[in-house]
Amino acid sequence: MEEYIRSRVPWSTEPSLETKANEVGIDFDELIEGIKNNRSDEEMAKQFGVTPKTIGYLKEHFWTKGIGSIMGQD
């Protein structure tokens, strides 16, 4: 007998890192490049014209939640 399995659509628990970066006027690709190159919060803040705290928040999102916060299953 075949078991019926419902497919569940993945959903996001909060905005993606790209959305958050765009909201504060930061180019997402440049943000990822800065993280990849291990640039300091201060260096990146100066480059993007935001506070180091803003960069720290975005980096924290990257390291704890990744690029997006997708949950659920197919």
Q: What is the mean pLDDT of each run of 10 residues along the chain (74 residues)?
A: 58 83 96 97 98 97 83 55
Q: Which residue has the tokens 């007998």?
A: 1
Query: Which tokens hold the place of 43?
Result: 């260096």
d(CA 39, CA 59) in angstroms, rounded, equals 11
- pTM of the full structure: 0.76
* C-alpha to C-alpha distance for 7 and 43, rounded to whole angstroms: 45
- How far apart are alpha carbons 71 and 42 in whole angstroms? 32
